[in-house]
Structure 1
Amino acid sequence: MKPVYVIGTCDTKEAELRYAVAQVIAAGAPALLVDISTTPSTAKTDVTPAMVAKHHPQGADAVLGHADRGKAVTAMAEALGRYLLSRNDIGAVLGLGGGGNTSMVTEAMRALPIGVPKLMVSTMASGNVAPYVGPTDIMMMHAVADVAGLNAITRRVIGNAAHAAAGMAMNGVPATQEAKRAVGLTMFGVTTSCITQVRHLIDSDCECFVFHATGTGGQCLEKLIDSGLITAALDLTTTEVADHLFGGVLACTDDRFGSVIRTRIPWVGSVGACDMVNFGGRESVPPRFDHRNLYVHNAQVTLMRTTAEENAAIGRWIIERVNRMEGPVRFLLPLHGVSAIDAPGKPFHDPAADVALFAAIREAWKAAPNRQLIEIDAHINDPAFAEAAVHHFRDITRGQ
Structure 2
Amino acid sequence: MAQTVQTDRAHVALIGTLDTKQAEYAFAAQWLAANGCSVTILDVSTRLPFSHLDELPALQHVQTVSPLELFSASSDKHDGATPAQLKEQASRLERHDLRAALVDGCLAFLRARLRSGSSPPCDAPIDAIASFGGSQNTSFACTVMRNDAFKLGLPKFCLTTMASGDISQYIGESDICLMPSVGDISGSLNKITRTVLMSASAAIAGMANAYHARHTQARGADADDQRTEDRPLIAVSMFGVTTPCVTAASEALKRHGLEPVAFHATGTGGRTMERLIRENYFAGVLDLTTTEICDDLFSGVLSAGPDRLVSSASTAVPTVVSVGALDMINFGPLSSLPPSLEIDAKEGAGPLHVNASGRKVWEHNESVSLLRTTPDENRRLGESVVERLMRGLRAAKSEGRKAREVKIVLPLHGVSMLDKQGEAFDDREARQALFDAIESSAARAGDEAGLIKIIKVERHINDPEFAEMVADLLVRQLQHAS
Structure 2 length-normalised TM: 0.74
Equivalent residue number for residue 59 of structure 2 = none
Equivalent residue number for residue 309 of structure 1 = 376
Q: Per-residue deviation at 1:66?
A: 7.7
Deviations 1:316-362 (A, max 9, x none): 33322212144543222223322222223332222232232223323
RMSD of equivalent CA atoms: 3.0
SS in structure 1 opposite 2:431? Answer: helix
Equivalent residue number for residue 201 of structure 1 = 252
Which amino acid is the alignment partner of residue 391 of structure 1?
D
Equivalent residue number for residue 427 of structure 2 = 350
Could you tell me which of 9, 18, 39 is aligned with 2:26? Answer: 18
Q: Per-residue deviation at 1:303?
A: 1.4
1:170–1:193 CA distance, 2 compared to 1 (3 A)? closer
Could you tell me which of 169, 181, 203 is aligned with 2:232? Answer: 181
Could you tell me which of 89, 103, 110 is aligned with 1:84? Answer: 110
Which amino acid is the alignment partner of residue 210 of structure 1?
A
> Distance in 1 between the 2:313 and 2:143 partners?
22
Equivalent residue number for residue 178 of structure 2 = 140
Moved more, 387-396 or 343-352: 343-352
> Distance in 1 between the 2:74 and 2:283 partners?
30
1:213 and 2:265 equivalent? yes
1:106 and 2:157 equivalent? no
Which amino acid is the alignment partner of residue 134 of structure 2?
G
1:164–1:381 CA distance, 2 compared to 1 (3 A)? closer
Give the length in aligned residue pairs: 399
The question of whether the paired residues in 2 share the 8 Å contact of 1:239 and 1:272 is answered with yes
Q: Per-residue deviation at 1:95?
A: 0.6
Which amino acid is the alignment partner of residue 140 of structure 1?
L
1:379–1:110 CA distance, 2 compared to 1 (3 A)? same
SS in structure 2 opposite 1:203? Answer: helix
The question of whether the paired residues in 2 share the 8 Å contact of 1:186 and 1:213 is answered with yes
Q: Per-residue deviation at 1:72?
A: 5.0
The question of whether the paired residues in 2 share the 8 Å contact of 1:184 and 1:235 is answered with yes
> Distance in 2 between the 1:347 and 1:187 partners?
20
Could you tell me which of 306, 315, 318 is aligned with 1:266? Answer: 318
Deviations 1:168-213 (A, max 9, x none): 2222263764232212211222212221221221222122222222
The question of whether the paired residues in 1 share the 8 Å contact of 2:22 and 2:187 is answered with no
Where structure 1 has 5 or more consecutive residues not aligned to the other structure, the ranges are none
Q: Per-residue deviation at 1:239?
A: 0.6
Deviations 1:245-296 (A, max 9, x none): 2122222223323543564322211111111111233222222023212223
> Distance in 2 between the 1:131 and 1:162 partners?
24
Moved more, 348-357 or 267-276: 348-357
The question of whether the paired residues in 2 share the 8 Å contact of 1:81 and 1:107 is answered with no
Equivalent residue number for residue 340 of structure 1 = 417
Could you tell me which of 149, 159, 169 is aligned with 1:121? Answer: 159
Where structure 2 has 5 or more consecutive residues not aligned to the other structure, the ranges are 1-6, 55-62, 79-85, 115-124, 220-224, 342-354, 397-402
Q: Residues 58-69 of structure 1 correspond to what in structure 2 (within 5 A)?
A: 68-69=94-95
Q: Per-residue deviation at 1:221?
A: 2.5
> Distance in 1 between the 2:450 and 2:461 partners?
25
Q: Per-residue deviation at 1:24?
A: 2.0
